[in-house]
Structure 1
């Protein structure tokens, strides 16, 4: 279903500002490209500081996992702390929906580790002389509503006067250190399940360009990954990541590399949102998606896969689903991990 409104949505009628027009990118597509990011953080492992830390760092910078995990001091049996931060530019024009999407996206990092969020703080950048604070209040309200649905308290935050609007959250939660989902625990012979369809990037880019509203994309982005995380743990999974700005192929390559395996994707088994393939055919491909494809291409065997499918598999998602090494009830199996030492991804 497509809503062809071209105004900003319910926050102020036809004269309300279109938030996506105040941002150079949208959602997780505005991330620093993965190759540039890895080069920037290479070698940033603060061993000296860790030697004196009161807790044991279980998951840190080593493999670019979704969140940090620290075992709390005090002996066995205690939960570990999981911490993350995520924020981005407007991905939709409706401020309330943007707040909901950004909160669900930040909470997803905790769920991707198998954890439960406890408390979040807001991160807000706002052009105070350009956009009214009524819109900012709607953004914050959306974030609080999603956090409440997750059972996560929101306690304050930090705001900055910025030429470009940005919003997200820093989230702290708990996780059983013996039942972590992490991106370096993949093993050969394990199927790959994807818990949300792809296509968010192209639909969001079409929205930014034309003003068309795609309720199916908004519904997907505001959906929490809580149930998918719990189902993965119940099925015995130990390896997962969420699929966001680096696209399915980018996040799968990182998982395969961290786990020392390769992966196969069955292109025909990958689900897409209604309208996503049409939007891709019509050229609504973000720069972030093209950068993703450029990054993974040297490590991917595409065979005779067409260019459109390649772009969709690299599509920069915002608040996407979990990619789980294991079978998750209700989620399609889209591939498997295979034994190999070159960390390649094969698309067939």
Structure 2
């Protein structure tokens, strides 16, 4: 099944190149629509559009496989796409599929399994798949454009953190390292323990729970630009710092031992390191494996949010019951846009 050169969110265009392209093309869009609440400006998870009593949410996400099992690939593609809606505090409504494959190398049975895997996720959230577009391509690609909605009071953005907030993540990191190990043959899919696979294909619907809370100040999901990249978006205005406690981070089982051997200079890890080098101060001697994991592109990664400490402690037990991997990984402070790894 896996005919791709790179998989999941690791197949994104390098962030440095993408930023350069967008900086050169942004002014070409001369359409001014006052109903656009959120667009390119903050690299947020969804576009947000004024629709009366609620906001309309719109997102697009697709990628090449990180696993050989087409059913699991379909689950990943769907979960990753709806995650953007949940990361904005919203509810997904309808979807169009985006698919590409080479019919000479990918069988109709494999494509059917991809669709069934995705549909199992969409059914869970009552999302209607209403159409799509399929083309011939040398690498398999699968994903969705999703329309959702959110109550205006529950919209969460990725760059509205407050000094004094705790920084919390909901799921381990290391998906990109696992994907690279699968591609290089260092591990087989059967080597991935069931609990890890369940988390990788899991959902971020807890974003709806978080969006109820006014003291959750910002919310996003961790995807192709890695943990550091998405933290940097939270402090993008340059008025805040993050003290990131590396010892509190949770990694998927086995990824630390794999990280160095499967990470090449052409990988998304190195692209992220280059992009965010100016944002990070390493205040401790960090093993290379952990440094790579800080920048590892995540596919269908967990959520990252900032929250007032007092309110979080009151609700912490209830939230951990919903999300056992939830962990505080740092603190937001006044500063100048730096991530201080300590």
Q: TM-score, normalised by structure 2?
A: 0.89
Indicate the SS of the match to 1:234: coil
CA apart distance, 1:249? 0.5
**Corresponding residue pairs, total:** 320
Q: What does the per-residue CA deviation read over 1:130-187, in whole Å, with 9 as the maximum and x for residues that have no partner? A: 2111111111111111011122111121101111110000000001223211012111
1:335 matched to 2:330: yes
CA apart distance, 1:305? 2.1
CA apart distance, 1:204? 1.6
Map 1:282-321 onto structure 2 (within 5 A).
283-285=261-263, 287-303=267-283, 304-321=285-302
Structure 1 range deviating more: 309-318 or 323-332? 323-332
Q: Is the 8 A contact 2:280 2:341 kept in 1?
A: yes
CA apart distance, 1:258? 4.2
Q: Is the 8 A contact 2:167 2:304 kept in 1?
A: yes
The aligned residue for residue 126 of structure 2 is 151
Structure 2: give runs of 5+ residues left out of the alignment: 321-325
Once residues 303 and 231 of structure 2 are traced to their aligned partners in structure 1, the CA distance between those partners, rounded to angstroms, is 11
Q: 1:31 to 1:306 in 2, by over 3 A?
A: same
Q: Is the 8 A contact 2:155 2:211 kept in 1?
A: no
Q: Is the 8 A contact 2:57 2:147 kept in 1?
A: yes
1:44 matched to 2:52: no
Once residues 45 and 140 of structure 1 are traced to their aligned partners in structure 2, the CA distance between those partners, rounded to angstroms, is 38
Q: What does the per-residue CA deviation read over 1:232-257, in whole Å, with 9 as the maximum and x for residues that have no partner? A: 53363131111011110011112211
Q: What does the per-residue CA deviation read over 1:72-113, in whole Å, with 9 as the maximum and x for residues that have no partner? A: 1x4xxx111000000000110000000000100000011111
Once residues 284 and 235 of structure 1 are traced to their aligned partners in structure 2, the CA distance between those partners, rounded to angstroms, is 41
CA apart distance, 1:310? 0.9
The aligned residue for residue 66 of structure 1 is 45
Once residues 91 and 229 of structure 1 are traced to their aligned partners in structure 2, the CA distance between those partners, rounded to angstroms, is 27
The aligned residue for residue 323 of structure 2 is none
Once residues 248 and 207 of structure 2 are traced to their aligned partners in structure 1, the CA distance between those partners, rounded to angstroms, is 19
CA apart distance, 1:46? 6.4
Structure 1 range deviating more: 245-254 or 55-64? 55-64
Once residues 268 and 237 of structure 2 are traced to their aligned partners in structure 1, the CA distance between those partners, rounded to angstroms, is 23
The aligned residue for residue 226 of structure 1 is 205
Indicate the SS of the match to 1:62: helix
The aligned residue for residue 194 of structure 1 is 169
Once residues 107 and 194 of structure 1 are traced to their aligned partners in structure 2, the CA distance between those partners, rounded to angstroms, is 18
The aligned residue for residue 118 of structure 1 is 93
Structure 1: give runs of 5+ residues left out of the alignment: 1-18
Map 1:1-348 onto structure 2 (within 5 A).
19-20=1-2, 22-42=3-23, 44=26, 48-50=30-32, 53=33, 56-72=35-51, 74=52, 78-210=53-185, 212-213=188-189, 214=192, 215-231=194-210, 233-234=212-213, 236-258=215-237, 260-281=239-260, 283-285=261-263, 287-303=267-283, 304-326=285-307, 327=312, 329-330=319-320, 331-341=326-336, 343-348=337-342
Once residues 103 and 260 of structure 1 are traced to their aligned partners in structure 2, the CA distance between those partners, rounded to angstroms, is 35
Q: CA RMSD in A?
A: 1.7
Q: TM-score, normalised by structure 1?
A: 0.87
The aligned residue for residue 5 of structure 1 is none
Once residues 229 and 313 of structure 1 are traced to their aligned partners in structure 2, the CA distance between those partners, rounded to angstroms, is 26
